[in-house]
Amino acid sequence: MIGKLNHVAIAVPDLEKAANTYRETLGAKVSAPHPVPAHGVTVVFVELPNTKIELLHPLGDKSPIAGFLEKNAGGGIHHICFEVEDVVAAGETLKAAGARVLGDGAPKIGAHGNPVLFLHPKDFFGTLVEIEQVPAA
């Protein structure tokens, strides 16, 4: 069902510092900050040859990333994202297998402009999992 690893999302307390670290220290191609109000985050994409790193920073006081950073002041891995061909079908298959889809169960548009679902971390050994429907190649 799942395809390739799309990205690893890292919550960071200082987005500019984190972006500069990936750009200057590691030599990565780093995007400009991109606000995603629907998810309460500002995102910077770090492009790698085989996947992406998504740096997340709170956008507003009610951001879920703000709560994550309260518990993890230095930042940390927030979630991993896998590609799927059909996010609705994948969600139904996962629910039938006992996985819990967060929110109302309906896909939302993610930071990459594609439909996404998030799966409960308790069902995946403490890891928040995102599945993202990507256009066919």
Catalytic residues: 130
Contact call for residues 5 and 80 (beta carbons, < 8 A): yes
Residues 6+ apart with CB under 8 A from 46: 19, 22, 28, 29, 30, 31, 52, 53, 54, 55
Contact call for residues 132 and 111 (beta carbons, < 8 A): no
Contact call for residues 111 and 41 (beta carbons, < 8 A): yes
Q: Which tokens hold the place of 108?
A: 């939302």
